[in-house]
A and B are shown apart, each in its own frame.
Chain A
Amino acid sequence: GENVEQHPSTLSVQEGDSAVIKCTYSDSASNYFPWYKQELGKGPQLIIDIRSNVGEKKDQRIAVTLNKTAKHFSLHITETQPEDSAVYFCAASPSGDDKIIFGKGTRLHILP
């Protein structure tokens, strides 16, 4: 079955700097890669997603890149702000399947 590895587990960046979180997946048939943000006491919420027919997608300060050959994808947050502090999860969904498998998460701290 699909396995998603996520790094780093904790990341601290200065406010205004960029943050990058990286994930790898094992199932080459996976074709959907969402990213979720979880704030304290809340359930995860989708922030951006990408399908395998696209190599990059951007939404304001957030971007995701996908390298299907290497089976890895990354989340990039630019101009970080205090409200970006949260736990971020990457995930993958195999083609032909509806379940979504998550990585173990990255706790992002934005330092003032």
Chain B
Amino acid sequence: KAGVTQTPRYLIKTRGQQVTLSCSPISGHRSVSWYQQTPGQGLQFLFEYFSETQRNKGNFPGRFSGRQFSNSRSEMNVSTLELGDSALYLCASSASGGGSGRAGELFFGEGSRLTVL
């Protein structure tokens, strides 16, 4: 069974640009969560999607957005990039979610490392 796939793995952008990251979950998983990982802040929750609906959102500005498609693949977008957006963005899929109230194992991809110059 293929794992969670994230593309691109590395990218460099300049301040003010926007970026779109893609995530393909494990087949059959309908929940996709996104996290930002930085050395000082650890793993910070961005949002969770289930069946094309955003079910949870973390404390990030509106420049961070996402969506999920009918095949459960997900994208996240960051507009008007700032230097502080440089981070590893991790996507995780789960067989749980959807408002079940019973969180389960997250399966992470290897991440997309974004550098903002």
Q: Provide the A95-112 mask, 1 if CB < 8 A to any CB of B, else 0.
A: 111111111110000000
Across chains A and B, the number of contacting residue pairs, with CB separation under 8 Å, is 72
Q: A87–B103 Cα gap in the complex (Å)?
A: 22
Q: A96–B96 Cα gap in the complex (Å)?
A: 12
Q: A12–B106 Cα gap in the complex (Å)?
A: 27
CB nearest neighbor in B for A44? B108
Q: Is B26 an interface residue (CB 8 A)?
A: no
Q: Is B15 an interface residue (CB 8 A)?
A: no
- Taking a contact as CB atoms under 8 Å apart, the answer to whether B101 and A96 are in contact is yes
Number of interface residues, chain B, beta carbon within 8 A: 34
On chain A, the residues within 8 Å of B101 by CB distance are 95-98
Q: Is A93 an interface residue (CB 8 A)?
A: yes
On chain A, the residues within 8 Å of B96 by CB distance are 98
- Taking a contact as CB atoms under 8 Å apart, the answer to whether A99 and B33 are in contact is yes
- Taking a contact as CB atoms under 8 Å apart, the answer to whether B35 and A102 are in contact is yes
Number of interface residues, chain A, beta carbon within 8 A: 26
Q: How far is the CB of A78 from chain B (nearest CB, A)?
A: 23
Q: How far is the CB of B109 from chain A (nearest CB, A)?
A: 5
Interface centre among A34, A43, A95 (most CB of B within 10 A): A43
Q: Is A25 an interface residue (CB 8 A)?
A: no
Given A99-B55, A100-B103, A102-B45, 5 more A-B residue pairs with CB atoms under 8 Å apart are A43-B90, A97-B103, A98-B56, A98-B98, A99-B33
Enumerate the 6 nearest inter-chain pairs by beta-carbon distance, A residue then B residue, closest first: A43-B108, A104-B42, A93-B103, A102-B43, A99-B56, A96-B101
Interface residues in chain B, defined as those with a beta carbon under 8 Å from any beta carbon in chain A: 4, 31, 33, 35, 40-45, 48, 50, 55-56, 58-59, 90, 92, 94, 96-106, 108-111
